[in-house]
Structure formats: structure tokens, C-alpha cells
Amino acid sequence: MKIPQLAAIRRALSLWINSSQPKDNGDSHTDKDAIDWVRIIPFIVLHMVAITGAVLTGFSWAAFIALALSYFVRMFAITGFYHRYFSHRTFKAHRLVQFGFAVLGLTATQRGPLWWAAHHRHHHRHADTHNDPHAPLHGFWWSHAGWFLSRRHYQADYDQIRDFAQYPELCWLDRHELLIPVLYATSFFLLGWGLEIWWPELNTGAWQMLCWGYFLSTVVLIHATLTINSLAHRWGRRRYETRDDSRNNWCLALLTLGEGWHNNHHHYPGSVRQGFYWWEVDVTYYLLRAMNAVGLIYDLKAVPPALLNARRVH
């Protein structure tokens, strides 16, 4: 093996620990859009362990409840904070709350809050054009997962998110994005170990809790989140005439705690509420309202009444 190839592998492996590496120097479009197979080994392993581990460890209601709770809490961290807070600033939060939910969002294994929000802001500026990082016009696979597995989008343009990049603790979390998921996974192993000793009647254990509470839950969570990129610009109804092809989809809204009201969101991204009407279930908004009521967040931004009926298609 040539020395340059060894250097490339070492660099890819180092990104598992510290993602603040220089941008890829490849000049061609093909090189940058290629999948970085060494770097994404953890992503591949995540799926392999989720599928095989769930089968080998078997089913228990304790493990299923762990999966459901793990999915729900982390989906809220992604929808409420990675998306509506870090990406769109639809409300304000105290710095400690901001940090806490950045950590919770990292457990979802969808990279750091700055990376996530920077790419999402870029998406809104160029939605459904060739400059959109995950436009469906590049194909389902690319819009669903290929884009973030490529060299092109590994690094984020932090000029897109200078407002939050000023916080050193958020920058540190972005640089060491795998640390929190590893600790989160370890906590499920320890939980299962404790349950096996003190509550054996639950018929669970360390390996089952690890597989169901972290691995399987995380895989389901990742792909549910990604459906907003790959499906919510293809499947559903358009209430508003927007510059993109965003759609409202009640099924995706239930799956993602409210993110499926995507045409609403692209019509007015600055709203903390994506289900604009009472019949559009938006669980994330309800939880944010509860957090606002107890003073954890504040200054929730609503849709201006004049915009509710502006640019309506139906």
C-alpha cells in the first residue's frame, strides 16, 4: 500500500475522535461526492449491530420501552433544539439549557449541533436547487443519506452559524461528536446490567438494553429524521406556494413529533410552531410550550397572522 493511502486512512480514522480537521482538498466534483468509506465505518457498524443485536438478544417489554423512550426524548432534542433553536432561532434559551440540549441532541448520533444547523441553514437558502446539500433532485439515496456520508459535506461552513459558533462549549461538542453517543450507549449497558441483577423478572440484561436502547433506537431515529429530507419534498400536500417543493405530510409529522408539516415550515421557517392549525399535531411545539411555561425557554416566535393566508395554494 502506498504511503499517501496510509495517510488518508490515518486521517479518516482520526476524524472518529476529532472532527475539526482541514477540509478535503479534492478538487473534482466526483471526488468530493464520493462516500468516505473509512470514516463512516462507525455508521455502518451501528446498523449491523442494531439489526443483528436485536435478533440475538431477543425481545422484552423493558427493552421495547427503553427503545421508545430513547427515540422520543432524542427526537425532541433534534426537532426542538437542533432544528427549531440552533437552525432557526425560533425561541431563546438560557445558556445552560442550550448546552444541555446540545448534549442530548448529540446522543442521537446525528453529529454536532453546529454542523447540523449550518447545513440546515444552507438547505433553506438553496432548497431544492443544485446547491441544496440534500435536494431530492439528486435522487432518493443522496437526499436521504448519501449527502452526509460524502466528503463534500463532512465539514460545515461555520460562517453560516456564527451566532452559536461563539460558544466554546458548543464548538468542543462539535469537535468531539462521538464522545457523547459512546457515553450514552454505555449508560444503557450499565442500566441493563443493573436490571438483570435487581429486577430479573423483567427478563432483560446489559446486552439487550444496549442493543435496543441505543443501537436499534438510534438507527430508527436517524432514518426517521432523514425522511424529512428525502420524503417531505416529494410526498404530501402543498398548502403554500414556496420556492421549493416542500410538502405537508401528517404521517411524517407523527413520526418526527411535528416536522412533517414541512410546507408550513418552508413558508415561514421562523415559527416555533410547524403545525400551524390545531388539527396539525406538533408534539415538539407542545413540549416547547411546556418548557416556556416553567421558564426554561422564552420568547417563542409565532406565525404572523397575515402570513397564515398568504401564498396559499389551497
Q: Answer yes or no: is 24 within a domain.
A: no
Residue 98 covered by a domain: yes
Residue 235 located in a structural domain: yes
Q: How confident is the model at residue 25 (pLDDT cuts 50, 70, 90)?
A: very low
In-domain check, residue 125: yes
The pLDDT tens digits for 142-170 are 899 888 888 888 888 888 999 999 999 99
Q: Report if residue 216 sits inside a domain.
A: yes
Q: Would residue 13 count as lying in a domain?
A: no
CA dist 106 and 104 (Å) reads 5
Residue 60 lies in a domain: no
Average pLDDT, the chain: 90
Of 147-161, 162-176, 205-219, 268-282, where does mean pLDDT reach its minimum? 147-161
CA-angle at 146, arms to 144 and 151, nearest 5°: 145
Q: How far apart are CA 18 and CA 40, in angstroms?
A: 14
Give residue 89's region: left, alpha or beta (phi > 0; psi -120 to 50).
left
Answer yes or no: is pLDDT of 14 > 80.
no
C-alpha to C-alpha distance for 141 and 313, rounded to whole angstroms: 29
Please indicate, yes or no, if residue 93 is contained in any of the structural domains.
Answer: yes
Residue 273 falls in which region: left (phi positive, over 0), alpha (psi -120 to 50) or beta: beta
Count CA atoms within 13 Å of residue 142 on its CB side. 15
Percent of the chain at pLDDT exceeding 90: 75
The pLDDT score that the predictor gives to residue 177 is: 92
pLDDT of residue 184 exceeding 70, the answer is yes
* Residue 230, domain extent: 66-131+138-308
Provide the domain count of the chain.
1
